[in-house]
Structure formats: C-alpha cells, structure tokens
Amino acid sequence: MISKPSTSTALTPESEPNAPLLPGASVGDIVTVRLTLTPENGFVPENLFDSSGTISFVLGWGNYLPAIHELVTGMKVGDHVENLSIDAGFGKRNSDMVIEVPKSNLKKIKTMDKIVEGATLNLQGDIHVLVVKVTKDTIVVDANHPLAGSSYSCSLTVLNIDRMPTNKLEYTDIQDKESQEESPFEIATFAMGCFWGVELAFMRTPGVVGTRAGYTQGVVADPSYQEVCQGDTKHREAVLVVYDSRVVSYERLLAVYSERLIATASQYKIDLFKEEDEESLQYKHGIYFHNNEQRRLAEEFLASNVHRYEEVEVLKSAVFYEAEEEHQQYLYKGGQASRKNARETIRCYG
C-alpha cells in the first residue's frame, strides 16, 4: 500500500538562509537535483535514462540508478557532490565469482577444443560465464556480469525536496482552492490491462516524477499478484502516477494513455461468446480520478471517442496497493529506455 509519510513545508533554493532546515531527503520525498553523470574507465552505457540536467524523482521508487537514490538519501537542499564515483548499476566485481574448474569435471563436453579464452559458456540455469584462462588441466571462468565494476563520475546538487502529497492519494471533493494548491504535485491512476507498458509510457513523460505498478478498486486488503490473478479480489492492475502540474497537465497524461490504447488495440479482441460476468477485472481498462477536475477531464476524454479501442471505466480513485518489486518498472529493468521523450517502441503486451 502507498505509504503516507508526514507532510511539511518544502524548502526551496530561494528560502531564507536562516530558515530552519527540513530533515534530509527520505524515501517517498520528491527530490529535484541538478545532475551530471560521466562514464568512467571506458564504460559505454546504454542510453536508458536521463543522465544530465535537472531531474525530479520520488526517492526510493526506482528509475535512474540505485546509487543515485542511495546518494541522495539524507541530503539537504543545497548539498552538493562533485566527481564522486558511483556504481553504474551492475554491482561490484566479486572475486569469488572467478572460478577455476578442473577439465576432469567437464567430461561431458565433447568440444573441449572450442573452449578458449574469450568464449562464453551457457551453464545450467541459463547462467552465462566468460572463459578468462585455459591451462592444460583447468579452465578459469568469470561469472560476474560483463559490466560489473562499471561506474559513473557523478556531480549532483540537491535543488529542492518536496513531501509526497499524501492528501491526494485517494479521491477528495474538497473545493478549497488553497488546500488543493498546497503542493504542485498531483496524483493520477490509470489501468490499461497489463501495467508494464503503460507505466513505461508515463515514465517517459516529462513532468512525471514517479510511478508505481499496483492494484486498485478491489475488495481485499493488500492482495498478492497471485490473488489478483485468481479474480476473487476484484482488483485491476493499475499504475499510480505522481506528476508536477507545473510541467505536465492531466490532459497530457490522458493523451499518453490514449496513445497506449491505440498502440495495443489489436491485442484486445472482442469475444462475442463470453458472458458479461466472465470479464477479467484484473485487466480492466480504467481512469480513476483523484479530484473533480480530473473527473471532468476524464469524462470529456471518453466523450471524444478516442476510447473506442477498448471499454474504459471512470471511477473514483481508491486505495492503491503496490505490486511486488519484480513488477515495478519491469520494462526499464529489462533494458527499455525510460528517458524523457524517448520514442522507441514499447515492447509489451498492454
């Protein structure tokens, strides 16, 4: 379930120098940093995430590098590091994973002459190891990731720390404008079948600072993926989006949602012989509004007929339970780019 840390006034770079400082950044805070990452020691990274400029993210919610989250935790507005070497995300090299194996243990291999330095062996369990040395009686293999030990030189300045707007996690009809505008950050929730593809689409959208895959609109507390798949909990797979309303509008998020509807339309077929109550709620398409303005815009979206590719429900947002870690930012972890404005085809059902 989305946690609700205590809220407090955000400290901005323009705050009075003698003003009391907020505690350092902690998990769930929205952190804005100025960042420059420079690959070290010949490391050539894939261009999967934004590595320079001003970026904002929810601390502890993934995206970018785990080392960035670890570094920023506890930092305060104005804190700065320069040319700090950080892990590139592949872990440190482990000498225990370099193993010398007697050739006598490899009697089943009939092509021993092809095992040479630089060759890759595929072991049981689909484990790939690199042959680094061959002697008369042994071979030495390295089971480290090929990029283990890679690093970036990181220069980073914390520009701002905002608290998560926990009062907006579920629907509210409060009309007090001052209360609604206490934070520029808003929350939206969408369901579109499998949550992986639409999550990556939102991660790529400028102004989106955080996403979580999870389950909502159900009748059971804290469900597991297996329970949701069984259908009894009535939950939908959904994505919770935290966005900066100064940068991106709710209308733009609806447009991104529409683009994914169009892109995946052929993957959802109508079954004329299916009974109405057989519909899978797990993969139901839905827009779950957090305030009346979102409701109005969602209803206008439906009226525009861009939803013709799939039936879309519009309901009040409800309690959102985070999915298991293996589902979080699944496609990004699998090597698909989450850079802002990335246009590579999203390879996913849903």
Q: What is the distance between the alpha carbons of residues 288 and 37, in angstroms, rounded to a whole number?
A: 37
Nearest 5°: phi and psi at 295? -60, -45
For 193, half-sphere exposure in the C-beta direction (CA atoms, 13 angstrom radius) is: 19
> Which helix (H) or strand (E) segment is 84 a member of?
strand 80-87
DSSP string, 201-245: HHHTSTTEEEEEEEEES-SSSS--HHHHHHSTT-PEEEEEEEEET
What is the set of active-site residues?
194
**106 is written with which tokens?**
């490899």
Q: Do strands 312-316 and 285-289 pair parallel, antiparallel, or not at all (unpaired)?
A: parallel
What is d(CA 100, CA 21) in angstroms, rounded to the nearest whole number? 55
Structure tokens at 260: 């994914």
By residue count, the chain amounts to: 350
Q: Quote the strand ranges of 137-207, DSSP E.
A: 138-142, 151-162, 185-192
Q: Are 103 and 121 in contact (CB under 8 A)?
A: no
Report the DSSP beta bridge partners of residue 211: 241
- Rounded CA-CA distance 209/196 in Å is 17
Q: Is 320 helix (H, G, I), strand (E, B) or coil?
A: strand
- In sequence order, the 6+-apart residues with CB closer than 8 A to the CB of 64 are 49, 50, 55, 57
Q: Angle at Cα 199 formed by Cα 196 and Cα 204, nearest 5°?
A: 130
DSSP class of 331:
H
SS3 assignment, position 184: coil
